[in-house]
Amino acid sequence: MRQKTFTDANAATEGLLWDGMTLMAGGFGLCGIPETLIEAIRRSGVRDLTVISNNCGVDDFGLGILLAGGQIRKMISSYVGENKLFEQLYLAGKLELEFNPQGTLAERIRAGGAGIPAFFTKTGVGTIVADGKEVRSFKGQDYVMETALTADLSIVKAWKSDTEGNLVYRKTARNFNPMMATAGAVTIAEVEEITDPGMLDPDHIHTPGIYVDRIVQGMAYEKRIERVTTRPRPILEGVG
Amino acid sequence: MAQRAAREIGDGYYVNLGIGIPTLVANWIAPGLTVTLQSENGMLGMGPFPYLEDVDPDIINAGKQTVTEIPTTSYVSSADSFAMIRGGHMDLSILGAMQVSERGDLANWMVPGKMVKGMGGAMDLVAGVKRVTILMDHVEKSGAPKLIKHCTLPLTGRAVVDLIITDLAVFQFLERGGPLSLIECAPGVALEEIQRKTTARFDVNLESR
């Protein structure tokens, strides 16, 4: 009988990692990243990775740990400003980099999972992003052609799943995870809680289980925050 | 500047505020207006920063700061978030800038050989949002003008700016692509100073509002 749930991240990634592969990793900043699976990929020592992810973590957390270990050859991202090591490696010529506008990146991944090889967008027309790409006019407006992205393996983070791999994300931790789940030849989801069938409302599933091949429950989520920003409590008159 | 920019926000607007000074515009939105703030990482209806004990690592804005939800908040994927943006459903985007040209070209994401961070969602915002307002210092720290004839830095978008608010003045493009008009001088700022610190060509149209 098919079994999607795995006991730990090592078991979940078994047989799916090889040098030179293309990997998609969900998350925005450090929010909604598959931190347990990233750690397993670090431990595996796999190298020459092409990684498709909006950001590249920070120096010592998230995808930054793969960068620090020299495991990444190329990044396809929209913003990497939180990672100093990234900038150093890139300016030293030790890392390939392809910047995509964030919406174009999201749509390229969505297209990859939906069987659409390319699409036209007005984002980036007249900029270096459009260099070397076909530009076509529709109803008097110029659009640039962007191609779909897929990966050998997608790793995503969800809040809850059932044993079928139906996924529910939590708040802004959703971000790139739903599209990436559709665009991997194989997709592994790590979740905070695996529930029994019937415990999730079918109307509230964000990613149906057809897109998810393997599921693993993450342990002890750090959920590091990049910029804790708060407001002070109003001070009550006559108190304190 | 943030206070002046808030006057561009109308009742019922869906607004995306960029990282940095544009974020401060939220503090000046006139009471009585219904304004929905969007954060491109997938949040429509963004509340203020949380109290310390309410910090939730799963609720952040596009600047990676912790924020709060409000009773009308919805969460979406990045693809759906940029469908709102690219699809022309957002009313206003307020962004910072390194350079703006006299035809409304914007450069705000890259300094070749120096700053390698990426454009994030800026190119999508300027391509898709109905109105683009720029909030920036009038000149660089070196004193060099930022409102210039042609951008020398890589562009974020071509002919995408509608309004520019600086510490010295407010400029408007009546239509995308120019011509540029000076419509307000900041209190105590003389026209001569603005002319001296601006290399973009502009009309002076101070009575327009």
The ipTM of this complex is 0.96
Helix (H, G, I), strand (E, B) or coil at B110: coil
What is the model's pLDDT at position A2?
A: 87
Angle (CA) A52-B120-B93 rounded to 5° is: 145
Say what percent of chain B tops pLDDT 90.
91
Q: Is residue A240 part of a domain?
A: no
CATH code at position A103: 3.40.1080.10
* Contact flag A101-B55 (C-beta cutoff 8 Å): no
Query: Using CA of residue B70, residue B71, residue B73, residue B75, what is the dihedral sign?
Result: positive
Specify the number of domains making up chain A. 1
Q: What is the mean pLDDT of residues A1-25?
A: 96
What is the model's pLDDT at position A233?
A: 83
The Cβ-side half-sphere exposure at B108, using a 13 Å CA radius, reads: 30
Tell which B residues from 119 to 178 touch A, by Cβ distance under 8 Å: 119-124, 127-128, 154-159
Q: Read off the pLDDT band of B143 (50, 70, 90).
A: very high
* Helix runs in chain B, H state only: 2-6, 21-24, 78-86, 122-128, 191-196
Q: Is residue A70 part of a domain?
A: yes
d(CA B89, CA B136): 25
What is the model's pLDDT at position A236?
A: 65
* Contact flag B59-A223 (C-beta cutoff 8 Å): no
pLDDT over 60 at A238, yes or no: no
* Contact flag B127-A121 (C-beta cutoff 8 Å): yes
Lowest mean pLDDT among A56-60, A193-197, A224-228, B115-119: B115-119
Q: Is residue A237 part of a domain?
A: no
Q: Tell me which chain B residues have a C-beta less than 8 angstroms from the C-beta of A103.
A: 40, 78, 81-82, 85-86, 121, 123-124, 128
* Contact flag A230-B66 (C-beta cutoff 8 Å): yes
Scan for tokens 């990859």, then name that residue.
A112
Q: What is the per-residue pLDDT across B148-176, written as a single tens digit (0 to 9) for each?
A: 999 999 999 999 999 999 999 999 999 99
What is the model's pLDDT at position A237?
A: 57
d(CA A30, CA A35): 9
Nearest to B189 by CA among B4, B30, B18: B4
Q: Give the gap in angstroms from C-alpha B49 to the nearest C-alpha of chain A.
A: 5
DSSP state of B62: T
pLDDT over 50 at A240, yes or no: no
Q: Is residue A59 part of a domain?
A: yes
pLDDT over 70 at B188, yes or no: yes
d(CA B160, CA A159): 39
Q: Is residue A77 part of a domain?
A: yes
Strand boundaries in chain B, DSSP class E: 14-17, 36-39, 43-46, 69-75, 92-95, 99-101, 106-107, 131-135, 147-148, 163-165, 169-173, 180-185, 203-204
Q: Give the gap in angstroms from C-alpha B126 to the nearest C-alpha of chain A.
A: 8
Q: What is the mean pLDDT of residues B52-70?
A: 96
Q: Read off the pLDDT band of A220 (50, 70, 90).
A: confident
Torsion of CA B84, B88, B92, B97, to 10 degrees: 90
Active site residue B40: yes
- Asked if B209 is an interface residue toward chain A (Cβ–Cβ < 8 A), one would say no
Contact A184, A152 (CB under 8 A): yes
pLDDT over 70 at B209, yes or no: no
Q: Is residue A223 part of a domain?
A: no
Tell which B residues from 52 to 81 touch A, by Cβ distance under 8 Å: 52, 55-67, 69, 75-79, 81
Contact A176, A27 (CB under 8 A): yes
Q: Is residue A233 part of a domain?
A: no
What is the model's pLDDT at position A136?
A: 98
Query: What is the residue range of A128's domain?
Result: 5-217
pLDDT over 70 at A40, yes or no: yes
- Buried-exposed string A145-173: b where 16+ CB fall within 10 A, e elsewhere: ebebbbbbbbbbbbbbbbebbbbbbbbbb
